[in-house]
Amino acid sequence: MFNLIIKDVLIQKKQFIFGIAYLAFVLVAFQGMGEAMFPMGLVAVTYMLSMTACAYEEKNKSDLLLNSLPIKRMSIVAAKYLSVLIYAVMGILSYKAMITIINLLNIPLKTYPLSLEILIGSLAAVCLMTGIWFPIYYKLGYMKMRVANFVLFFLFFFGSSLMTQALKSKHDSLWVKDIISFFNTQSNITIVLVFIVIIVLYMLLSFSLSAWFYNRREF
């Protein structure tokens, strides 16, 4: 399985350089976004890398190859999920390196140190996204998935603004209050932990769905 991840990294040498360049671009161009620039940049980069990895699978028809080798289908899916983590770690490291360089050379750019909240928030955003689109990819294949993603993208944006509005209007309702009061009474650590548990469960669910779909695919 480790070698499947290596493979995804090897076939994307060019994309990795592009990814780092993109992060650098974000650092310069989105100065106004403040701390939010990093989660946005990281989501964009991991999304791009995992999309290209899948595009290459499609282009090479490698499902035929991988499934003819003695590999469990579940491992093929698991490798894809883990590779996203690798992309994220690489993104974090290169961002850290860039901040360090900027500060060392006294380049006149505002930098925001990576706080734990931002780090976890960024990873959560990455998970939220991959968790949705991987099952779609394993169900429909790359070409159809791209269409589905387009739709999803819009739903996500409109949906989130609608949801915020809905929540605001129901500010007084009981269960919203309950949730708010729950978070207010808990320590930061507990909130982070609950958050992490939710994300992990969400990813496990997503993975099981993907594996289930992929097991049923025919090539």
Partner 1 sequence: MESILEIKGLKKSFKDFSLKGIDITLEKGYIMGFIGPNGAGKTTTIKLIMNLMKKDAGVIKVFGLDNVKYELDVKQKIGFVYDENNYYEELTISEMKRIVASFYKTWDDSAFNKYIGEFRLPLKKKIKDLSKGMKMKFSLAVALSHNADLLIMDEPTSGLDPLVRRELLEILSQIIQDENKAVFFSTHITSDLEKIADYVTLINDGEIVLSLEKDELINNYGLVRGGKELLNNVNSKDFIDIRENQFGFEALVKDKNQTRKAYKDKIIIEKPSLEDVMLYYTRRCRNV
**Residues of the shown chain interacting with partner 1 in the complex, contacts defined by CB under 8 A:** 2-4, 6-7, 10-11, 56, 59-65, 67-72, 216, 218-219
CB of residue 214 to partner 1, shortest distance in Å: 12
CB of residue 7 to partner 1, shortest distance in Å: 5
CB of residue 21 to partner 1, shortest distance in Å: 19
Q: Among residues 59 and 144, whose Cβ is nearest to partner 1?
A: 59
Give the whole-angstrom CA distance, residue 49 versus residue 46: 5
Q: Is 188 exposed, middle or buried (0-12, 13-18, 19+ CB in 10 A)?
A: exposed
CB of residue 150 to partner 1, shortest distance in Å: 26
Q: Among residues 62 and 111, whose Cβ is nearest to partner 1?
A: 62
CB of residue 87 to partner 1, shortest distance in Å: 17
Q: Among residues 62 and 94, whose Cβ is nearest to partner 1?
A: 62
Q: Among residues 2 and 175, whose Cβ is nearest to partner 1?
A: 2
Helical segments of the chain, H only: 2-10, 13-29, 37-60, 62-68, 73-104, 116-140, 142-169, 174-185, 188-216
Say if residues 90 and 96 touch (Cβ distance below 8 Å): no
Residues in the chain: 219
CB of residue 10 to partner 1, shortest distance in Å: 6
Q: Among residues 61 and 171, whose Cβ is nearest to partner 1?
A: 61
Q: Among residues 69 and 104, whose Cβ is nearest to partner 1?
A: 69
Give the whole-angstrom CA distance, residue 126 versus residue 120: 10
Give the whole-angstrom CA distance, residue 152 versus residue 145: 10
Q: Which amino acid is at 180?
A: I
Three-point CA angle 115, 121, 124, nearest 5°: 145
Residues 6+ apart with CB under 8 A from 71: 1, 4
